[in-house]
């Protein structure tokens, strides 16, 4: 079905019902979706930012981060734009929200994204430690879920209503939902990078047995975009 925005990937017109999706999730040629040793200086692990080199130049990314007048158009930009369309709620793992480990020492850490995170919808953060909801500028509220991924997904679906739930990561969180068969579609941006170490996305997972197959492959300017669908 044609997409009026021109984007290739996950426009709302491609599915009649809301879905649970992973989108614009970068992975290296050797299967790593994050580098090792995450820190404040390396939020995606060491060399992790190399995985995202495809999206940084795009008009969509630059617009999300305050530069509304610049950025490159093309297939990579179409895929990035489609990934942001139709999201009614997000789910993030604790590490995706920040490098703080264990009980929250205070509420000073508010994410990597400054005062106006790029989500603009409710975001459900998986954690073992209680923290009160955090409301940010631009419509983002972080809800900290302590009773597991199933509860986070129920809450996210309720918040999203007729829109999609996007699993934002990190790697362990995506793997949890893959193993549970809860992800309907997954868009991987395969970056021309070899990491050699880090967090491997598919190690030990049998995707065909879990019901996943390749539905679409699109060659972008700086990444190869692969769409997996369940069923």
Residue 176 φ then ψ, to 5°: -60, -45
Whole-number Cα distances in Å, 222 to 32, 118, 176: 17, 22, 28
Q: Pick 65 or 211 by higher pLDDT.
A: 211
Collapsed DSSP state (helix, strand, coil) of residue 60: helix
Please identify which residue in the block is written with the tokens 């000073």: 108
**pLDDT digit string, tens, across residues 72-104:** 999 999 999 999 999 999 999 999 998 888 999
Return the domain boundaries, the chain.
1-6+48-85+185-231, 93-101+113-183
> What pLDDT, in 10s, does the model give residues 152-210?
999 999 999 999 999 999 999 999 999 999 999 999 999 999 999 999 999 999 999 99
Distances (CA, A) of 231 to 82, 153, 192: 22, 20, 29
75 vs 64: CA distance, rounded Å = 17
pLDDT in the model for residue 1: 30
Q: What is the mean pLDDT of residues 116-120?
A: 94
Distance CA 150, CA 140 (A): 21
Fold of 93-101+113-183: Dihydrofolate Reductase, subunit A (3.40.430)
CB 19 within 8 A of CB 164: yes
Separation CA 92–CA 112 (nearest Å):
13
Give tens-digit pLDDT for 171-184. Answer: 999 999 999 999 99
The alpha helices in 113-211, defined as continuous H runs, are 149-160, 171-179, 207-210
């Amino acid at each position: 079905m044609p997409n009026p925005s021109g984007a290739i990937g996950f426009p709302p017109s491609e599915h009649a019902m809301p879905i649970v999706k992973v989108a614009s999730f970068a992975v290296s040629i050797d299967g790593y979706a994050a580098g090792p040793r995450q820190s404040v200086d390396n939020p995606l692990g060491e060399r992790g930012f190399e995985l995202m080199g495809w999206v940084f130049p795009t008009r969509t990314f630059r617009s999300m981060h305050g530069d509304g007048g610049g950025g490159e158009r093309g297939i990579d930009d179409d895929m990035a734009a489609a990934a942001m369309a139709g999201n009614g709620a997000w789910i993030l793992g604790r590490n995706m929200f920040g490098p703080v480990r264990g009980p929250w020492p205070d509420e000073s850490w508010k994410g990597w994204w400054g005062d106006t995170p790029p989500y603009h919808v409710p975001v459900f953060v998986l954690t073992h430690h209680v923290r009160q909801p955090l409301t940010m500028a631009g419509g983002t509220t972080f809800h900290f879920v302590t009773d597991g991924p199933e509860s986070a997904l129920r809450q996210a679906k309720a918040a999203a209503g007729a829109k999609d739930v996007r699993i934002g990561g990190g790697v362990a969180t995506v793997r949890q939902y893959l193993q549970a068969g809860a992800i309907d579609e997954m868009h991987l941006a395969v970056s021309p990078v070899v990491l050699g170490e880090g967090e491997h996305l598919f190690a030990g997972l049998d995707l065909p047995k879990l019901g996943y197959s390749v539905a679409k492959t699109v060659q972008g300017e700086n990444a190869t975009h692969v769409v997996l669908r369940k069923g």
